[in-house]
Amino acid sequence: MRLGAHVSASGGVQEAPLRAAELGLRCFQYFSRPPQGGPAPKLSRGVIQAFTKNCAANNIESHFVHAPYIINLSSPNDRLRLNSVAMIRQDLKRASLLGSRGVIVHLGSSADRDTSQLTKRLVDSLRRVLDGYLGKALLLLENCAGAGNTIGRDFQELAGFLNTLDDDRVGICLDTAHAFAAGYDLRTAASVKRTLGVFGRTIGFKRLQAIHLNDSAADFQEFKDRHAHIGRGRIGLSGFKALLASPALKNLDLILETPIDSGRKADIRIVNSLIARSSKC
């Protein structure tokens, strides 16, 4: 397992690996453009070289781009949906230039919950994103907490999208806080085993490329996206101990998205301790 966190790319993407290194991390996640959208800063040859050099010099082994929050691949509004497609295509190209493993994207929301139409619309969006794409960065779909009309809280629903699309360039980033708030219990060793069992039977672990490792400030089945520091939320330390000891999750990149405050360093110490303990078992 490689532990990472979401870090700022303020001042240019080449600064992101330096901020990850300051925290003693081996991987990281970053925005390659403003998180609320807008024009993407140019990736000059010098910026790409500096980014690559800063990763190598600090033993950073992998990194991921997070797509802007305004993305909505599920929208019945064609203009919004196709703008989202164009933005993700650009982010995939940028991620490939920077050597990032993947672009992590939320699927968006839709008041139209007709299963067949929603699947058709979303899969069409994903195919448009990937049409003619030759880069190495993967497109990683993130599960959601299920607030409002957001899409992708249910493992079976995500599996349906993936199976219909049938493209090896698409995988999953599993967010623990989102899964818990959406109704997948992670508080005990037994519940972790059950939840991972459901994931394995529906989506399959070969599609799992990264984990957003977050405790949840929202209650079980509250369907709210509220992150908390590791062990200080509703999942608790017992749940994370069981998660990190699971053989199914070995060799995955773990990305913290916990609150960026004085508690972040404690999160890193706790997770590193749990990883070290699991490696001895």
- 139-197 pLDDT, tens digit per residue, is 999 999 999 999 999 999 999 999 999 999 999 999 999 999 999 999 999 999 999 99
Tokens linked to 247: 């053989």
pLDDT given at position 281: 60
Report percent pLDDT > 70 for the chain: 99
2-279: CATH class? alpha beta
* pLDDT above 90 (res 132): yes
Beta bridge partners of 239: none
* pLDDT above 90 (res 116): no
pLDDT band at 263 (very low <50, low <70, confident <90, very high): very high
Task: Read off the pLDDT of each residue in 217-229 and give the average, rounded to a whole number.
Answer: 98
* pLDDT above 70 (res 216): yes
Can you list the positions of beta strands (E) in 196-257?
A: 208-213, 215-216, 227-228, 253-256
- Lowest mean pLDDT, pick from 51-65, 113-127, 182-196, 247-261: 113-127
pLDDT given at position 133: 96
Measured CA distances, 202 to 113, 156, 208 (Å): 21, 6, 12
Residues in CB range of 13: below 8 A, 6 or more apart: 30, 32, 41, 43, 47, 51, 98
As a whole number of angstroms, the distance between CA 270 and CA 274 comes to: 6
pLDDT digits (tens, 9 = 90+) for 6-30: 999 999 999 999 999 999 999 999 9
Domain ranges of the chain: 2-279
Query: Residue 107: what residue type?
Result: L
* DSSP H or E segment with residue 88: helix 78-98
Task: Read off the pLDDT of each residue in 250-256 and give the average, rounded to a whole number.
Answer: 95
DSSP per-residue letters across 44-65: -HHHHHHHHHHHHHTT--EEEE
pLDDT given at position 218: 98
Q: How much is the mean pLDDT over the chain?
A: 96
User: Are 122 and 73 spatial neighbours (Cβ–Cβ below 8 Å)?
Assistant: yes
Q: How far is CA 119 from the centre of its chain?
A: 21
